[in-house]
Structure 1
Amino acid sequence: MNIKITDFEDSVYTGFLKYEDENYQFVFSGETLRMIPESTEKRNDMWKFGMKEIVQGTYTWGDPPRMEQDVIIGRCNETNQKIVFLPKKGSYIAHQNSVLLIALEAYIICKYERDKIDRIAFTGPEINGIHPTSQAIEYTIVPDSFVNSGTFEVKTRDFDCTTTQKQEFTVDSKSVSVSFGVSRTMSTKNWEPPMKLSSNMLFELDATDDYRFILQLWYIAKQFIQFLCYRKDVHFSEVNLAAPCEDGKHELFAAMYVFGEKPNDIDTKTLKDGRYIKQIHIAGHEGELLSNIADNEIYLRNLPESYATGQHIDAARFVMITAAFEWEFNRLYPDGIPKSTQRLAAETEVTGKLEQLISDSKGKAKEIYKSLLKSVKRSPSLANKIEKIGNDYGEILNAFGRQLYSYNNEELDYSKMGSRLADQRNHFAHGDLDKDFIGLSLLDLIFLERIIYAIQLKICGVDDKNIQKSINELFHCNFAI
């Protein structure tokens, strides 16, 4: 059973609720919740809202009140259903006459009255590709029967064949599991297909009534799908909530909608091209990826808004992609690039001499010696890091790099690539408008995007072959792997 919420998006609904121990009537439409006090006395005093009393009977403007509540729970007049409003915490509460205006982040429509949530089911076009619905059906076609009478058989496979193993991850010390499955819906209505298959991403958790935690999981799920698609404009067409039921089952009872979703802007071309990482390539490591996202360890600021915008590189995006590489490199090599014994001995000797000179000097000379000491202890450069990745992970990356550079009659050289990227990044960062753009650095940056994904997947434990398959499909490289 799916709970549709489109009617709520397009209509105006009224009801009643309690806010700060006061009864209110509400009007809900769009992203704003309007609340009107039920008591005449409260309505008459609304002119004092946002004011402060400086002496008895005299008021002046004070700091506008902010929304502090996690949730506001109301009852809809039209449907008698419970609605859980999730306001934007910290936002200013506006008012017009006797009406409070509350900015909303999300809302939950409860078809049934249930106290706890223990599963979230995400459905969307990207999920249909990441965990293909086609794996849920089998065809039986007898050529003669199909040609002469138009008959063939279609059968759905059982749930065990289409449901992945649960993988654990942790959010705020709470254990959550993720799995993928395929739901089946049948219909006898003329205007609906007789059978509909939809892939779901399922989050299961200990039963909770913490709606803010559910919203937090929604954002983590969104970032996870964005990572797998390398773009931010991914969509959940439905987010259904379930309550615990007997025998370990789940009862669907509510639907969640988060403002900002634009289901009419689906990038069908990118989906048809298969530009996403399939679940099968990261099987067994979904939990590590989600934990990295939940803990803000993985770098995602370089994700483009859409596939189309990702094809355009400006100075800001150039710097952001190189920043993503440096962040992920430091995660992969937390102790930096290992140094030879000779290098370490030389650094120790030079450091000792410089420290003595600093101790014996004053003024400008002392500042220069300190600067020299910093240069001895400096971290590896961007060029050094790229060369290190080429040496250590060339078996995964070389095929993709050689393909890219061959299109421009160039050869893959990690040392030169690193130098070009470092120089161009510095030109952008320092505003060197008089410097010509280093043409090949654009090609280097495209390859760097693939390198970043290789590092991120490697950190999460994905094996080399599946890293190659992921990069091949995500960036449409057309290799037979």
Structure 2
Amino acid sequence: MIIIELDIYTGVLEYKGINFSFVFDKQELRLIPPKDKKKEIEHEWFMHKIGEGVYAGGDHPQMERPFLVGVCNEDGNKMVFITQEGTYIGRYNAVLRIEVIAFFVLKYGECSINKMCFLSPEINCIHSIGQSFCFEYDEDFIEKGIVQLRTNEFSAVTTKAEIFEYNSKIVKVTFGASRTLSSGVTETPLKLSSSLCFEFDSTEDYTFIYYLWLIAKRFIQYLCYRKNVFFSKVELSTSYKENKHIKIGELYVLDDLENHDVEEEVLKKGCYIRQNYIAGAVGPILQSIAEDSIYLRHLPQNYEEGHHIDAARFVMITAAFEWEFRRIFPEGIKKKEKKIKAEETVVQLLTPLIENNTGEIKSILKYLKKCVGNDPLSSKLTFVGIELGNIIDIFGKHLYALNGKKLKYSEMGERLAAQRNNFAHGNLDKDFDELALLDLIYLELILYAMQLKFYGVEDVKIKKAINDLFHKNIRIDE
């Protein structure tokens, strides 16, 4: 199919029973009503009637549809606009102005989608594009200059399918490779790209497909430990004959349409987690992202930001550890019987005091009761150090040795907790413990070790993943 990429799209679409003409400049969707509907829109949509023929200004209507569907004048293709539900519809006279966050361009008449593939420079590295081809040349290559490039078959470069569930629908995920041939004078004759593909039951729920895009985006961000990853193309397909697919359109998200600088140097360094390290864990990781149970709020915006720590990042990274510790170790730290009894006794003592007091005293006592049994950060880090020491110690000992220090998890936890509390409570007059900065750098690595171990990744592959992602250049033995 041919999809014409334009700066401005025009066409027609139906909204609230009215056939509008639309103009879309990849920023804002403007709906132009027919002449006989202009007064109706101005009076009934944006005003309220206070008397016969008398209207007063009213509240702007809100967008109640998750998407709008139209037909493009330029090529006859179907266009679907993903809206921001709940936002106010603006207007200039009778022309409606609607906020759009993404749009689909689909072959007209085709609307059911069951596969989407994501392409990006990061995916080319995560699932190495190099495995898609090989060179063949003989001994006199230098004299004759003859070389053959042979692409490997699809099955050789497509990973074993894994699954996750979103919105009660099963999604099958694979990494693979695509090929594009061209005979154009100004175009590359063969273009190879790695791809991340989602397959699901055929659907016309375009909001569902957009949310799959969000899940894929966060997944690649997680594998690169930075938010500034962008998809160069998102291809949409439908079933064609037996077990085959035919491309019917593309998805464009406005945030990804802006000009973005690809972090080529970062990719050349290998600062990402390779697919072969997490084979078998891709589905579970995506499931956690779909459920919003994995903590990703602390990811830096870009590689450079990841090397700078401010108060906000300090608090967010320690919060990430606390969140993941509760998720991965829901039963907490195993305690001795003596400590358990002591905590029970304290609770028994506090309970009647809470019942017999009011106001601020009662609030303080309830807070104290809530704190009973909570493990301090130092205890949690010591516990993780014991549980994952064979994975993380190699990085921690190396990091602290470079700074003339020894790795001690309990002391690390105490420093982090103290500095976090100073930042969180605005105690900026307190002296900053520079060693806490070292602790935080190590905590970022510990987080990935905890998460990847939780998803069942082998210890040696976790070490390799951390070594690559954070560019540690430490020798990892099998």
Give the counterpart letter for 2:143 in structure 1.
N
Task: Map 1:214-293 onto structure 2 (within 5 A).
Answer: 214-261=209-256, 262-293=258-289
Counterparts of 1:301-340 in structure 2, within 5 Å, are 301-340=297-336
CA distance in 1, matches of 2:274, 2:375: 35
Measure the CA separation in 2 of the matches of 1:314 and 1:207.
46
8 Å contact from structure 1 (residues 46, 97) kept in 2: no
* 1:119 and 2:115 correspond: yes
Task: Quote the Cα distance in structure 1 between the aligned partners of 2:360 and 2:96.
Answer: 65
Aligned partners of 1:243 and 1:252 also within 8 Å: yes
Q: Secondary structure at the match of 1:374?
A: helix
Partner of 2:230, secondary structure, is coil
**Which amino acid is 1:190 matched to?**
V
Q: Say what the alpha-carbon RMSD is for the aligned residues.
A: 2.1
Taking structure 2 as the reference length, the TM-score comes to: 0.94
Q: CA deviation at 1:451?
A: 0.6
2:444 alignment counterpart = 449
- 2:189 aligned with 1:194, yes or no? yes
Aligned equivalents of 2:298, 2:65: Cα separation in 1:
33
Q: Structure 1 residues 250 and 59, CA, compared in 2 at 3 Å: closer, same or farther?
A: same
Aligned pairs for 1:53-72 (under 5 A) are 53-72=49-68
Please give the alpha-carbon distance, in whole angstroms, between the structure 2 residues aligned to 1:204 and 1:472.
32
| Closer/same/farther in 2, CA of residues 150 and 23 from structure 1, 3 Å limit | same
CA contact (8 A) 1:116 1:244 kept: no
Q: Tell me, in whole angstroms, the C-alpha distance in 2 between the residues paired with 1:214 and 1:456.
A: 27
> What is the distance in 1 between the residues matched to 2:17 and 2:110?
23
**Distance (whole Å) between structure 2 residues aligned to residue 418 and residue 150 of structure 1:** 62
Matched, 1:108 2:104: yes
SS at 1:233 equivalent: coil
Does the CA contact (< 8 Å) of 1:236 and 1:263 recur in 2? no
Q: Deviations over 1:161-188 (max 9, x none)?
A: 1000110100011100100001112222
| CA shift digits 1:273-322 (9 cap, x unpaired) | 11110111110111100000000100000011111112111101100000
- Following the alignment from structure 1 to structure 2, what is the Cα–Cα distance between the partners of residues 52 and 457? 57
Query: What is the identity, as a one-letter code, of the residue corresponding to 2:231?
Result: F
Alignment partner of 1:344 out of 334, 337, 340: 340
1:434 aligned residue (424, 429, 436): 429
- Structure 1, 303-312 or 206-215: larger mean CA deviation: 303-312
Q: Is the 8 A contact 2:350 2:369 kept in 1?
A: no
CA–CA distance in structure 2, aligned partners of residues 275 and 477 of structure 1: 10
Match of 2:48 among 44, 52, 70: 52
**Aligned equivalents of 1:192 and 1:86: distance in 2?**
32
Q: Is the Cα contact below 8 Å between 1:145 and 1:152 reproduced in 2?
A: no
Structure 1 residue 438: Cα displacement: 0.6
Deviates more, 1:92-101 or 1:108-117: 108-117
Contact 1:357-1:369 within 8 A present in 2 as well: no
Structure 2 CA distance, aligned partners of 1:218 and 1:173? 17
Q: Which amino acid aligns with 1:342?
A: K
Alpha carbons 2:347, 2:369 under 8 Å: kept:
no
> Is there any run of 5+ residues in structure 2 with no aligned partner, and where?
none
Per-residue CA deviation, residues 175-220 of structure 1 (Å, 9 max, x unaligned), is: 0010000111222222222221100100000000100100010101
> Which structure 2 residues correspond to residues 275-424 of structure 1 after superposition, within 5 A?
275-355=271-351, 370=365, 374=369, 377-424=372-419
127, 133, 149: which one aligns with 2:129: 133
CA offset digits 1:89-148 (Å, max 9, x no partner): 111101101211111111111135213100001111110011010011122343x31222
Q: Is the contact between residue 133 and residue 151 of structure 2 (CA under 8 Å) also seen in structure 1? A: yes
SS in 2 for 1:184: strand
Deviation of 1:344 (Å): 1.4
Identity of aligned residues (%): 45
Q: Residue 307 of structure 1: SS of its match in structure 2?
A: coil
